[in-house]
Every structure is written in structure tokens, then in C-alpha cells.
Amino acid sequence: MSQFYKIGYIIILSALATSCIDSYTPKIDANDISKYVVIGEVNNNQTEQTVTISLTSSANDPKYIPVIGCSVNIEDKNGNVFNFIDQGNGEYSGDIDQSFMTPGSSFKLNIKTPDGETIESDYDQMNPVANIDTIYYKIKDQLGITPGDIIHGIQFYLNVKDIPNESKYFKWNVYETWEYHTKYPVEWYYDGTMHHVFPPDSSKMICWRTLKVPEIYTLNSSNVSGNTYNSFPINFVSNRTNKLAIEYSLLVEQEALSKEAYEFWDKMRINISNSGGLYESQPMLIQGNIHNVTNPAKEVLGFFSAVCSVSKRIFVNNVQIQLNYTDYCSFDTLKIPLRYIQPYEYPVYFMPDGYNNRPSFVIYRGECVDCLLFGGTNVKPSYWPEASTYLKPKTYKCNSNR
């Protein structure tokens, strides 16, 4: 399942989780634990579109429960129907040519469940999208969770320009990528047999990791004078991670929303912000635009939207801030004969002797030599530069003509 829809599902679950600082067990009707959760979007920036269908789970045990075997299609107001393929994990995907996705186009979602129920969304209209003018950052401190805890880091901001009169509602999807390194190459390791790698293998010393920032960012610019909006905060990066150690990149996708889509996602933003991870307040019930036609009394959670979008990427390195994180690289001394090392501990990495062509008795943790253990990839992204730079925003036909 794509990262976007995993995050979307987690957001929906968060809206259902009910708690306070003190221990609290919500009274949830049995029917509430079997509601459909539908997250879908038509985006002009993508040829392949995706819809995720799942069921709600217990608030005490939130998890992803995919619904497979549905019949899914998206149709526009001109009668064009685009059928989606069941990927087998609750995710349904289909292609829509960009020629169908222009400002003024409207789309709706149709679902037939394995139980024979019909689920439909309202039509949602694509609106022209404004340009991202600039993405920049400032060194900034932030309050931590505990009293007196100050977190150093950098705060990103963006400026929006050329805001069309008919497109005053925004949502931003933010993706971060960073390069990170391990300290040593692989030279000696044991997996039941001692291996000597020469020349030493440095292929897992440099990695890159990409994550979607989980926060929801929305804006209603209806009351903004002029057609620009400046200094909108979008992401804070702490000095307590390795993200800023080498090179960091932020990709910002800016979506033009309908009023209905904005109201849904802004309520989701408020709800998640209020819970703050500590569940400081009970969340509101958020009504989407998806309905169970067969059984109208059976609520469906989620939202289906049609958006035009633009994106822009920024690269950052050599940030003038002191970093304070652990690299999890540590050493130990071999205290038992090799034959007593258990298979579940393989591979065991050894530091070279330094004087003789043999391993020493010093053992590396895997994190010292294998950057893949941190969840990234050692395949360099195609867009990754040799030096820090700003990239111009991509411009698509959904921009307003000015």
C-alpha cells in the first residue's frame, strides 16, 4: 500500500480514537467497529489514481483491515467511466489520462462491495491551482513535551502566488528525503563461516530515506487581500535526528481543493492537532462526502476528492546548527568461540586487525556498516544533486492562466 494511503488511513483511525490524559475507555457501538473507510483522490499530477477501502477497527487495537473483492470505478460528469483493478490489499488503482483532468472537471467514486452494498461519493470538482513561489527555512527552537525542554531545528515555510479567485482552498502533502551514512565498510563478517571481503564493501555506507510528513496542512485564503500568501509554516526538522547531517530535501505538493474537501481536511487537521499524540481532547465526528446508497444509515468514513496540483522541491545542506543524535554504531569484544554464535545473530561484523590480514576480536553492530538497517535504500534517487540547490516548481495545465 502506498505511503500516502497508509497515512490517510492512520489519520482516519486517529479521528476515531477517543481518550483523555487520564485512562478512558470509550463506549463504542459494535456497528462503529465495522464502518467502511474510503480514501481516494483524482490528481492531475498522476496518471495512476488510487483508492483504498478498509474497515474501522477497535480504538484499543487500531490496525489496517483491508477490504478486497470490491468493484471500483471513477466517473466524470461527461459519462466517462474509469475502471479500477483490485490490488489485493484494500488498494484499487486505475489510469486516467490527463486530458480528462482539467479545471472544471468533476469526478465521483463508485464502489460495489463483496456484500452487494453500493457506496458512492458526491462529485468533486477540480479547480485551478496557484503557484508555489518559494520554499525556505529558518533556524528555530521549539518547545518539547516535557517542561523546559527546548528542541533546536529548522522550520520550513512557503510562499504562494497567483492565487485564482475560484481557488482559495489549499492542502499540502509534504515528503522528506535525507541522505545518511554509516561509518565503516564491510571487510570481515561471520555467518557460520568467516568471510574476508576485499576490497572492503562500501555499497551500504550511503543511503537515502523518504517519508511522508504525517501532519495535515490546510489553508483558506478567502480573506487574504491580493493573490499571494507568504510564510506558511509546513515542516519542522529537529536536530535530534540524522536528517540534517548530510543533505536533506523537502518535496511539497500543493493541491487546490473544493470548499467541501477543504472543510473535511481542515477538520481532520484540527482533530489531530487537538489530540496532539497525548489524546488531550475527544475528537469530533467528521462527515465526508461518501455514502452507503444501499443502507443510508450505515455511515462511511473518508473523503473522495479531485484536485489540481503543483510541486516544488528544496535541498538543504550545511545547516549551521549543532546536531545531537545517536548513530547506533557501537562495538563489543568477542567473548565466546565463533561456533557458539547463534544463526539468528548472523551476520556478525568484525573490525579488521589493522596490522595483520585477519579480523580482530572487536565486533561492530550492524548499524556501523549497513545503512539499510535504518529503513532506507542505497540506490541514489534520480533527482538527488551533487550539491545543494533549489529546483523550480513543476507547472501543469491546471495552473490558472495569468
Taking residue 375's Cβ as centre, other Cβ atoms within 10 Å add up to 10
What pLDDT does residue 398 have?
56
Domain contains 98: yes
Angle (CA) 293-294-298 rounded to 5° is 80
Range of the domain at 119: 3-129+257-308
Domain total for the chain?
1
Residue 3 pLDDT > 90: no
Domain contains 136: no
Domain contains 110: yes
| Residues 6+ away with beta carbon under 8 Å from 291 | 119, 120, 121, 122, 300
Structure-model confidence comparison of residues 165 and 265, the more confident one:
265
Domain contains 183: no
Name the band, by pLDDT with cuts 50, 70 and 90, for residue 60: confident
CA-nearest of 42, 216, 5 to 124 is 42
Domain contains 299: yes
Edge-first strand listing for the sheet containing 131-143: 131-143, 150-161, 229-238
Domain contains 167: no
Return the top range by mean pLDDT from 3-7, 16-20, 312-316.
312-316
| Residues 6+ away with beta carbon under 8 Å from 89 | 1, 66, 68
Provide the β-strand partners of residue 107. 76, 124
Name the band, by pLDDT with cuts 50, 70 and 90, for residue 145: confident
Domain contains 265: yes
- Taking only the tens place, the pLDDT of each residue in 300-352 is 999 999 999 999 999 999 999 999 999 899 999 999 999 999 999 999 999 99
Structure-model confidence comparison of residues 64 and 176, the more confident one:
176
Name the band, by pLDDT with cuts 50, 70 and 90, for residue 56: confident
CB-count exposure of residue 298 (10 Å: 0-12, 13-18, 19+): middle
What pLDDT does residue 193 have?
95
CA-based radius of gyration for the chain: 25
Domain contains 226: no
- Taking only the tens place, the pLDDT of each residue in 158-204 is 999 999 988 899 999 999 999 999 999 999 999 999 999 999 999 99
What pLDDT does residue 33 have?
58
